[in-house]
């Protein structure tokens, strides 16, 4: 197990873990990182805090000790300064790698969803090379407007043009704004938030159906 270090070096860590309620038994089990990109800053990650509780229960049932830590998360659609988006991916990858290396985890479960977060966590997983699996956040459900399904960004951008051209009233545009995004999850268009989740599944890094549910 990677989490065990020579006795004289691990005793200080054990003291710290005991202060948080860990037992001698839980410390001896394999430590499994729950790498959670939960955030209130975007719908792709908003539900991951609750999902992490199920992940931790599963790790305990399998005989491991789950230890959760959060990583930064970013939504391409939410960020104002677009030049920061790609560097943010590298920041997430490096910081996640450092957490996993510094604490000598035996394995990791990554909870991740959006455009830059999924590849960042893939990069970190490849670098540390420990047993890892991904639980992706899945897609956003369609919204509804004027009796038809709406895919957030795909249908949203033309609506902005129609409104600016005077083809939509203020009330219609406000109604669209309130109903165009049907749920939490990755924005529903064919963008990298969804394609990266599908890639993770195709690579065998997540369970079948994880990217589409």
Tell me the pLDDT tens digit for each residue of 112-163.
Answer: 999 899 999 999 999 999 999 999 999 988 898 888 888 877 888 888 999 9
Among 42, 56, 199, 71, residue whose Cα is nearest residue 136: 199
Whole-model pTM above 0.75? Answer: yes
For residue 136, which phi and psi values (nearest 5 degrees)?
A: -85, 155
pLDDT at 84: 86
The stretches of the chain forming alpha helices (DSSP H) are 7-19, 24-28, 48-61, 85-102, 117-128, 152-164, 170-179, 192-202
H helix or E strand, kind and range, residue 70: strand 65-70
SS3 (DSSP) at 140: coil
Is 115 in contact with 73 (CB distance < 8 Å)?
Answer: no
Residue with tokens 């001698």: 24
* CATH number of 7-140+190-212, picked from 3.30.70, 3.40.50, 3.40.47, 3.40.630: 3.40.50
The residues spanned by each domain of the chain are 7-140+190-212, 143-179
Tell me the pLDDT tens digit for each residue of 2-31.
Answer: 555 556 567 888 889 999 999 999 989 999
What angle is formed at CA 70 by the lines to CA 16 and CA 92, rounded to 5 degrees? 120
DSSP letter (8 states) at residue 13: H
What angle is formed at CA 67 by the lines to CA 74 and CA 17, rounded to 5 degrees? 130
Q: How far apart are CA 70 and CA 139, in angstroms?
A: 21
């Amino acid at each position: 197990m990677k989490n065990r270090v020579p006795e004289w070096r691990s005793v200080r860590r054990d003291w710290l873990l005991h202060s948080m309620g860990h037992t001698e038994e839980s410390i001896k089990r394999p430590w499994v990182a729950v790498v959670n990109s939960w955030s209130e800053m975007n719908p792709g990650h908003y539900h991951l805090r609750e999902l992490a509780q199920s992940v931790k229960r599963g790790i305990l049932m399998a005989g491991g000790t789950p230890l959760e830590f959060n990583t930064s998360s970013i939504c391409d659609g939410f960020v104002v300064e677009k030049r920061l988006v790609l560097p943010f991916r590298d920041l997430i990858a490096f910081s996640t790698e450092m957490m996993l290396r510094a604490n000598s985890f035996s394995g990791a479960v990554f909870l991740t969803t959006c455009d830059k977060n999924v590849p960042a966590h893939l990069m970190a997983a490849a670098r540390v090379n420990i047993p890892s699996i991904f639980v992706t956040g899945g897609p956003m459900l369609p919204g509804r407007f004027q009796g038809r399904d709406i895919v957030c960004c795909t249908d949203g951008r033309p609506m902005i043009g129609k409104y600016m051209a005077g083809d939509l009233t203020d009330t219609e545009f406000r109604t669209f704004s309130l109903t165009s995004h049907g749920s939490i999850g990755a924005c529903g268009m064919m963008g990298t938030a969804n394609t990266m989740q599908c890639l993770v599944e195709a690579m065998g890094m997540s369970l079948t159906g994880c990217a589409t549910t």
